[in-house]
Amino acid sequence: MHPVTRPPMPTRQRSGIRGAAALAAAALLAACATATPLPEAGSPAARLYAQRCGACHAVPHPKRLDFARWQATLKLMEERMAQRGLPPLSPEERRTLLAYLRRNAR
């Protein structure tokens, strides 16, 4: 007797399963990212960080990166904001965010 074999899963279905797994992983990371309160909670800088960065994704704790990596990350995020047609950071917002991240980075 021959074993019953299933036809291979269609590519579209595999992509959907991978996408669902990626979303689940992102949701888990998002939950972990904000488990610890932000430093300087309630300050204008912390509120700006939560507002501008949290508009697109979970807000990571500043201690996750050192300041040099935050500088590179902020530059990358500004490029992505422009690609998505989001309003750019003003020079003052950029200074405030960088100062906040400098004070609170790893």
Q: What is the pLDDT of residues 63-101, one digit of tens each?
A: 999 999 999 999 999 999 999 999 999 999 999 999 999
d(C-alpha 29, C-alpha 48), whole Å: 21
pLDDT score recorded for residue 9: 57
The torsion angles phi and psi of 58, rounded to 5 degrees, stand at -60, 145
Tokens 């047609």 locate to 85
pLDDT digits (tens, 9 = 90+) for 5-39: 666 656 556 566 776 666 655 555 555 555 789 99
pLDDT score recorded for residue 100: 99
Greater pLDDT, 47 or 28: 47
DSSP conformation class of 42 = T
Domain extents in the chain: 7-36, 37-104
61 CB neighbour count, 10 Å cutoff: 17
CB 78 within 8 A of CB 70: no
- State how far the alpha carbon of 105 is from the alpha carbons of 6, 38, 67, in Å: 52, 11, 5
pLDDT score recorded for residue 73: 98
